[in-house]
C-alpha cells in the first residue's frame, strides 16, 4: 500500500543506448559511407543546456533499441568543429538539441527540440 502512495524505494534501472561517440571529423566519412547500407542517427547535444538534457532524456526513454540503425552522440560543446561540418556536409542548419537521420549519404530527416520526439524512426530504417 505504501509503495502505491509514496512510490517504491527501488531505483529505476537506467536505460543505456548503444551510443557511438562522435569525436573526429573522419567519422563523418564513416557515417556517410555506412548510411548506404544502414540508417545512421546523429544526436547533437549541448551538455550545458537543460532543455537539451530534457529532450535527450525523452529520446532515450522512447528509443526502440530494436531499430536497425547506428546511433551517434555528439557533445557539440567539446566538438564544435564536427557540429559545423555536420551542418555543411548534410545541409542542415545547426540547432541543439538536434537529431539527424542519415541515409545514402544525405540527411533525409532532421529535427530539433520537441520535434525530435515526433520523428517516427521506423519510417527511415
Domains observed in the chain: 16-124 (3.40.30.10)
Question: Helices 26-34 & 80-90, crossing angle to 10 degrees?
Answer: 40
pLDDT tens sequence across 45-100: 999 999 999 999 999 999 988 888 999 999 999 999 999 999 999 999 888 899 99
Per-residue pLDDT reduced to its tens digit, 16-50: 899 999 999 999 999 999 999 999 999 999 999 99
**pTM of the model as a whole:** 0.86
Kindly list the strands in the beta sheet with 98-103, ordered across the sheet, starting from the edge strand earlier in the chain. 19-21, 69-75, 39-45, 98-103, 106-112
- Render pLDDT for 67-76 as a digit per residue (tens, 0 to 9): 889 999 999 9
State yes or no: pLDDT of 1 exceeds 80: no
Beta bridge partners of 111: 99
pLDDT band at 2 (very low <50, low <70, confident <90, very high): very low
* Residue written as grid cell 533525409: 108
What are the distances in angstroms from CA 22 to CA 19, 33, 73?
A: 9, 15, 6
Amino acid at each position: 500500500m505504501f509503495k502505491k502512495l509514496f512510490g517504491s524505494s527501488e531505483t529505476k534501472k537506467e536505460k543505456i543506448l548503444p551510443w557511438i561517440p562522435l569525436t573526429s571529423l573522419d567519422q563523418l566519412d564513416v557515417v556517410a559511407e555506412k548510411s548506404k547500407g544502414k540508417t545512421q542517427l546523429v544526436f547533437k547535444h549541448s551538455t550545458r543546456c537543460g532543455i537539451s538534457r530534457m529532450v535527450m532524456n525523452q529520446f532515450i526513454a522512447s528509443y526502440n533499441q530494436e531499430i536497425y540503425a547506428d546511433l551517434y552522440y555528439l557533445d557539440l560543446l567539446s566538438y564544435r568543429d564536427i557540429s559545423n561540418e555536420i551542418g555543411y556536409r548534410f545541409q542542415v542548419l545547426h540547432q541543439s538539441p538536434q537529431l539527424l537521420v542519415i541515409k545514402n549519404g544525405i540527411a533525409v530527416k532532421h529535427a530539433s527540440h520537441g520535434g525530435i520526439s515526433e520523428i517516427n524512426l521506423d519510417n527511415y530504417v
